[in-house]
Amino acid sequence: MSQREDEIRCMLIPMREGRLLLPNAAVAEVIGYREPDPLDHDLPWLQGKVGWHQRDIPVVDFERLLGRSVAGGGIRQRIAVCYALQPGDDWPLIGLVAQGIPRLLRVQREVIEFAGTPASGASPVRMRISVGGEELIVPDLDYLHTQLPVA
């Protein structure tokens, strides 16, 4: 197997505390942060919705979903637009708040395989892996979509 086949292209999404790691193919685009329009809900981690390419997408503050304290965003705040994993969802896309500019990272397959994969849909965190001594959180996009209110 070549070195390219041993690597998975990923996107590092900076948070206030730590970073999220997503497969590069799960991220449609990273856009500048704009204040989301309100949605009728009582979920503190769901900031609202923003328009993107003639679609509304819900904007999730993943750190609030994890129960972390709320802190203001900075001028480098972005929204990572991610694809829904389940076809036919009310929300075909989801926005994750980033506290800086996401960057590409190649991760060795054995690092992910070593971390294991817990059952999908049970928690907002799919797995935690260590890359270069830093713990990265892999979010469970299936779980996020099941927690969103009906559009």
pTM, rounded to two decimals: 0.86
Per-residue pLDDT tens for 117-136?
Answer: 655 667 899 888 888 888 89
Main-chain dihedrals φ then ψ at residue 61, nearest 5 degrees: -95, 100
Answer whether residue 2 is part of any domain. no
Residue 35 pLDDT grade (very low, low, confident, very high; cuts 50, 70, 90): very high
pLDDT in tens, 67-111: 887 666 667 899 999 987 765 567 889 999 999 999 999 988 776
Task: Provide the mean pLDDT of the chain.
Answer: 84
- Return phi, psi of residue 147, to 5°: -90, -10
Question: What is the bridge-based pairing of β-strands 93-98 and 55-60?
Answer: parallel
Residue 14: enclosing H or E segment and its boundaries? Answer: strand 7-14
**Which residue range forms the structural domain that includes residue 79?**
7-147
The answer to whether residue 14 sits within a structural domain is yes
CATH number of the domain to which 123 belongs: 2.40.50.180
Does residue 30 surpass a pLDDT of 80?
yes
Q: Supply 36's token pair.
A: 């989301």
Residue found under tokens 């705040």: 77
- Residue 1 within a domain: no
pLDDT for residue 151 is more than 80: no
Q: How many domains does the chain have?
A: 1
